[in-house]
Amino acid sequence: MELNLHRLCIFLKVVEHQGFSAAAHELYMSQPSVSNQVRRLEQSLNVTLVDRSGARTRPTAEGEVLAEYAKRIFLLADEAVAAVQQVSSLEKGRLMVGGSTTVGTYLLPTLLARFQERYPGVECDVFVGNNRVVAERLLAGDIGIAVVAGGPAEPQLLVEPVLEERLVLVARASHPLAGVAAPLAPGALSGERFLMREPGSHTRSEQERVLEEWGLAGQATRSDVWGPEAVKQCVAAGLGVALISEHAIVDDVQQAGSLAVLPVHPSPQPRHISLVRRRDRLLSPAEQAFVRLLRSPDGRWARELTEEGRA
């Protein structure tokens, strides 16, 4: 058997576009040429790779397997090119980092700014989504590394804790409980409406866990709100209280004064902030440098971020 990479690339385009015509248009080839190349690939492997019987071209079972390997092959080729281009002391290059919603909004920008102080020639891109979406992007190879709250459970992903943070309960600054100095008992919150993050968010899972620990899981009234900024705005408007990352409410408590932290005993247990990447993926030089920053032995960046959140 012979695997021709040029024909493999053409085959993958046919699968992605579900047709020979669309693939030919993107590849600047004629439709007969595309069809001929795929047929020759089939002949070399002695299998049928695409089902041509329907209105749309679909891969056979053998074609689906080959398409998955093809994606990995060409992803590795792109990584090799990027690594060669970046090898000269990181004087130039590109870094794409994913972040779960809270981490990507409140921690990752500061961390990337410190990275660019060291490597000003490296361009930084950020993808932000909830944990489920970030894990999907990592598995698909769209992003190489991510920093998230908690850690995905997919066995293909390597999870390395790098920092701890806590959820705190916040309410509108004028809330009747905002002036209480002593920690509240969970029972004092039974009449409150809890604003919950969207399903798929790690914060949502942590919120559910805390309410269970406080004995409020079956009692508390709930509303779903998508994204930490929307949660904060809803709390500030008096629509309810929320468990939210300590790093997300620094400005709202210290500067704007729109939110107040309600101390509760027992307080929520800390959660991990983790570096996540695919086990089978080679990191580019820029990604390796970013990982070194995360693992910096003095931990200064981690301590500073945590102190800012708890100040």
pLDDT, one tens digit per residue, over 250-296 is: 888 877 788 999 999 999 999 899 999 999 888 888 898 899 888 87
Mean pLDDT for the chain?
87
Domain 167-269 has CATH 2.40.170.20: no
Alpha helices by DSSP H, the chain: 5-17, 20-27, 31-45, 61-86, 101-106, 108-118, 131-140, 202-213, 228-236, 250-254, 285-294, 300-310
Q: What is the pLDDT of residue 125?
A: 92
The predicted pLDDT at position 172 comes to 95
Of the candidates 196, 171, 197, the one whose C-alpha atom is nearest the C-alpha of residue 259 is: 171
Residue type, position 88, single letter: S
Structure tokens at 238: 């008096």
What's the chain's Rg over C-alpha atoms?
A: 25
pLDDT at position 110 over 80: yes
| Angle between helices 20-27 and 31-45 in degrees, nearest 10 | 110
Residue 299 confidence (pLDDT): 47
Instruction: Give the right CATH number for 5-83 from 3.40.50.1000, 2.60.40.1180, 1.10.10.10, 1.10.1040.10.
Output: 1.10.10.10
- According to the model, what pLDDT value does residue 151 have? 83
Percent of the chain scoring above 70 in pLDDT: 92
Nearest to 11, CA basis, from 71, 56, 61, 53: 71
Q: Which of 54, 11, 51 is nearest to 34 (CA)?
A: 11
The answer regarding whether domain 90-164+272-310 maps to CATH 3.40.190.10 reads yes
Query: Is 77 a residue whose pLDDT tops 80?
Result: yes
**What pLDDT score does 86 carry?**
60
Q: Say what the pTM is.
A: 0.66
pLDDT at 1: 63
- Do 164 and 216 contact (CB within 8 A), yes or no? no
pLDDT bin (cut points 50, 70, 90) of residue 309 is: very low
Residues 6+ apart with CB under 8 A from 203: 101, 102, 149, 167, 197, 228, 243, 244, 245
In this predicted structure, the answer to whether residue 100 has a pLDDT above a threshold of 70 is yes
pLDDT at residue 87, rounded to an integer: 57
Q: In this predicted structure, what is the pLDDT of residue 311? A: 47
Annotated domain spans of the chain: 5-83, 90-164+272-310, 167-269
* Type of residue numbered 101: T
Domains 90-164+272-310 and 167-269 agree in fold: yes
CB 44, CB 4: distance < 8 Å: yes
Mean pLDDT, range 293-303, rounded to an integer: 63
Confidence of residue 79 (pLDDT cuts 50, 70, 90): confident
The whole-number average pLDDT for the span 238-253 is 91
pLDDT in tens, 153-176: 899 999 999 888 899 999 999 999
Please state whether 93 falls in left (phi above 0), alpha (psi between -120 and 50) or beta.
left
| Separation of CA 128 from chain center | 6
